[in-house]
């Protein structure tokens, strides 16, 4: 992807760029598949909303002359910066609900611009909302700040999109925060390097957004969260620059970088970071394994996660998740195991993982081959079908909304010892709510990540929608699932962040003294309380 492509016109509703998306025939085919597989009936296929039909208030304020050249109040730009990409956002968007549009969108070109925008916001009590790719699914970028503020400015980081410096010896690079995933990888490729952090939203999310939300990439063991790759980070706060020292590790007290990692725009605007990189992999070994009993698949996943083999992928799909994504026929769970290396062939690791699967009665539907240097090795068969559905996730999500179906995911993490009871409680609560509000519904589970001490289960809910009631239907299911997660000791999010959406459950999860300490830190960095108010904590 070139820089020009990275700056194509983003859609204001739905995933990706203008001119992209699934054609109507393909959307309708998804509706037919869901009917056949799960008995849910789609409504008439709705069109994406037209700009002229949006309900959006007039701006409450104007940028000062000194910032005018960085700012836009164009309706389309305000719409792009109003809603994230969750099911709820998409339903509200298709109904034209853009009531929380920012008054101004600012596009800083350098750190001085960021400082100037924050200075203006602090002086006039305007909420400042950092915006990366806008792929938040937790209302993290929505300027829902109430009347206590004179208005809201969305600070879009798209122009800070360069790899500034590459240190080949330490295998790291200084990278600006507004770079989108593909454009970042394109700039690292000539150096033979990769960040190798691939969230499903990779195409439409940024380095700054990843750091601010503690995102998780799709590699399912070892390095998962972006946290592990941050060597040093810089943010502009309303009090000035916050820059951490660039180090491979340090034992000097609590880590100052960790205060910013996961701060979700509440402390300042992350502008650049030194990131640990990896050599581009050359060797791959991959195969799917099938299990008749999901309990066996859990056992094999745990054995692999605790073996020290560290496969790049160890992705478990239960029977229904395999059927949902088209990777299986619904009779077996599927564990996709992939090894990758830039340095060595992987036969020994792969054979051992295959033995562990076989210890739990797992069999592979394909003939196991050894290491391949073919980049497509992991892209064929059931593993390939799942991968294609994963990559198309954003566009498929739009399709479900256009079909009037209720379809959303939620995710968590729990230790292995508690997982079976936890999973049963979450499934029971979610299925009961989904059947109550949708009549016909399906809940499936995959593991997004597998740690030695526990999995990160990721649930998909599909239900029949009732025209006009989809938001209430999903809200009831989400509340039941989230209550069950918190009651059974899990986390409200493993990688989707807190935002505004998860606040009721995050407020129960985090220790009260932590909230006090974080609030105090926030008052130091942001005395006027302008940074993304309502996210993580009340100001
Ligand atoms: C289809 C789909 C798939 C997804 N898959 C994954 C996945 O696999 N893994 C995962 O972790 N998440 C996933 N997400 C969620 C989302 O993509 C992540 O939270 C991502 O990290 C957000 O990055 P962004 O650049 O889009 O940030 P935005 O959505 O723009 O912002 C997210 C939050 O970070 C803050 N922020 C953004 N940039 C900055 C900055 N420079 N400085 C300070 N604060 C900032 C914002 O204020 C907001 O609170 C998915 C979302 C969708 C819609």
Q: How far are the Cα atoms of 17, 239, 278, 533 from residue 236, in angstroms, in the given order?
A: 29, 8, 28, 17
Q: Is the CB of 237 under 6 A from ligand 1?
A: no
Is there a contact between 286 and 383 (Cβ–Cβ < 8 Å)? yes
To the nearest 10 degrees (0 to 180), the angle between helices 419-438 and 294-305 is 130
Q: Is the CB of 143 under 6 A from ligand 1?
A: no
Distance 124 CA to ligand 1 centre (A): 28
Distance 65 CA to ligand 1 centre (A): 31
Looking from the CA of residue 225, the nearest atom of ligand 1 is: 11
Distance 32 CA to ligand 1 centre (A): 31
Say if strands 333-341 and 283-291 run parallel, antiparallel, or are unpaired: antiparallel
Q: Is the CB of 496 under 6 A from ligand 1?
A: yes
Query: ∠ at Cα 453 (449, 458), nearest 5°?
Result: 30
Which pLDDT does position 165 carry in this prediction?
98
* Paired strand residues for 72: 105
Which pLDDT does position 224 carry in this prediction?
85
Is there a contact between 184 and 163 (Cβ–Cβ < 8 Å)? yes
Distance 204 CA to ligand 1 centre (A): 9
CB-count exposure of residue 423 (10 Å: 0-12, 13-18, 19+)? buried
Residue identifier of the C-alpha nearest atom 2 of ligand 1 = 201
Residue identifier of the C-alpha nearest atom 48 of ligand 1 = 140
pLDDT 10s digits, 352-367: 999 999 999 999 988 7
Distance 199 CA to ligand 1 centre (A): 9
Q: Is the CB of 319 under 6 A from ligand 1?
A: no
Helix (H) or strand (E) holding 290: strand 283-291
The residues near 278 (Cβ < 8 Å, ≥ 6 apart) are 171, 193, 194, 195, 196, 342
Q: What's the half-sphere exposure (Cβ side, CA atoms, 13 Å) at 215?
A: 25
Please state the pTM of the whole predicted model. 0.96
Helix (H) or strand (E) holding 338: strand 333-341
Q: Is the CB of 215 under 6 A from ligand 1?
A: yes
Q: Is the CB of 210 under 6 A from ligand 1?
A: yes
The residue ranges of the chain whose pLDDT is under 50 are 1-2
- The span from the CA of 529 to the CA of 539, in Å, is 6
Which pLDDT does position 363 carry in this prediction?
96
Residue identifier of the C-alpha nearest atom 23 of ligand 1 = 209
Distance 134 CA to ligand 1 centre (A): 6
For residue 47, give the nearest of 17, 75, 27 by alpha carbon: 27
Distance 37 CA to ligand 1 centre (A): 31
The residues near 522 (Cβ < 8 Å, ≥ 6 apart) are 266, 267, 529, 531, 537, 539
Pocket test for ligand 1, best of 129, 199, 502 (most atoms within 8 A of CB): 199
Which pLDDT does position 383 carry in this prediction?
65
The encoded tokens of residue 195 equal 């960040």
Q: How far are the Cα atoms of 361, 366, 368, 392, 410 from residue 333, in angstroms, in the given order?
A: 12, 15, 18, 21, 19
The encoded tokens of residue 210 equal 């990843």
Which pLDDT does position 380 carry in this prediction?
58
The encoded tokens of residue 368 equal 């196991």
Q: Is the CB of 136 under 6 A from ligand 1?
A: yes
Which pLDDT does position 382 carry in this prediction?
62
Distance 226 CA to ligand 1 centre (A): 12
Residue identifier of the C-alpha nearest atom 50 of ligand 1 = 201
**Phi and psi dihedrals of 317, rounded to 5?**
-115, 125
Which pLDDT does position 535 carry in this prediction?
98
């Amino acid at each position: 992807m070139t820089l020009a492509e990275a700056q194509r016109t983003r859609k204001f509703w739905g995933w990706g760029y203008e001119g992209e998306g699934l054609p109507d025939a393909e959307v309708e085919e998804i509706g037919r598949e869901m009917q056949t597989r799960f008995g849910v009936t789609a409504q008439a296929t709705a069109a994406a909303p037209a700009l002229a039909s949006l309900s959006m208030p007039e701006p409450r304020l104007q940028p000062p002359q000194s910032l005018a050249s960085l700012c836009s109040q164009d309706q389309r730009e305000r719409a792009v910066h109003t809603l994230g990409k969750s099911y709820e956002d998409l339903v509200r968007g298709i109904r034209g609900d853009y009531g929380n549009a920012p008054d101004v969108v600012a596009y800083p070109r350098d750190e001085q611009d960021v400082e100037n925008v924050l200075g203006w916001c602090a002086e006039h009590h305007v909420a400042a909302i950092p915006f990366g790719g806008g792929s938040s699914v937790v209302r993290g970028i929505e300027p829902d700040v109430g009347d206590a503020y004179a208005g809201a400015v969305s600070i879009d980081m798209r122009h800070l999109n360069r790899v500034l410096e590459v240190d080949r010896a330490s295998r790291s690079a200084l990278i600006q925060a507004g770079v989108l995933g593909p454009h970042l990888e394109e700039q690292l490729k000539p150096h033979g390097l990769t960040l190798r952090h691939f969230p499903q939203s990779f195409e439409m999310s940024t380095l700054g957004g990843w750091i601010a939300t503690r995102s998780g990439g799709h590699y399912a063991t070892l390095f998962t969260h972006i946290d592990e790759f941050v060597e040093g980070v810089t943010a502009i706060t309303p009090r000035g620059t916050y820059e951490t020292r660039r180090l491979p590790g340090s034992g000097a007290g609590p880590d100052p970088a960790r205060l910013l990692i996961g701060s979700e725009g509440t402390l300042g605007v992350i502008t650049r970071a030194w990131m640990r990189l990896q050599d581009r992999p050359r060797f791959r070994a991959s195969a799917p394994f099938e299990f008749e009993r999901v309990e066996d698949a859990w056992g094999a996943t745990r054995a692999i996660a605790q073996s020290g083999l560290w496969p790049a992928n160890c992705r478990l799909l239960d029977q229904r998740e395999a059927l949902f994504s088209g990777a299986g026929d619904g009779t077996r769970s599927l564990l996709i195991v992939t090894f990758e290396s830039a340095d060595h062939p992987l036969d020994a690791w792969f054979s051992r993982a295959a033995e562990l699967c076989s210890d739990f009665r797992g069999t592979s539907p394909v003939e196991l081959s050894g290491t391949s240097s073919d980049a497509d090795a992991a892209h064929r068969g059931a593993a390939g079908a799942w991968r294609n559905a994963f990559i198309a996730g954003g566009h498929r999500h739009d399709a479900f909304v256009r079909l009037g179906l209720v379809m959303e995911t939620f995710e968590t993490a729990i230790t292995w010892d508690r997982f079976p009871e936890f999973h049963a409680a979450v499934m029971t609560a979610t299925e009961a709510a989904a059947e109550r509000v949708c009549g016909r519904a399906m809940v499936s589970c995959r593991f997004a990540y597998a740690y030695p001490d526990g999995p990160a289960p990721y649930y998909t809910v599909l239900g029949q929608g009732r025209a006009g009631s989809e938001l209430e239907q999903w809200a009831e299911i989400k509340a039941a699932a989230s209550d069950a997660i918190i009651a059974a000791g899990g986390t409200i999010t493993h990688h989707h962040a807190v935002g505004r959406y998860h606040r009721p459950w995050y407020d129960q999860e985090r220790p009260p003294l932590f909230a006090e300490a974080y609030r105090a830190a926030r008052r130091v960095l942001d005395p006027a309380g302008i940074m993304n108010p309502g996210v993580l904590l009340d100001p």
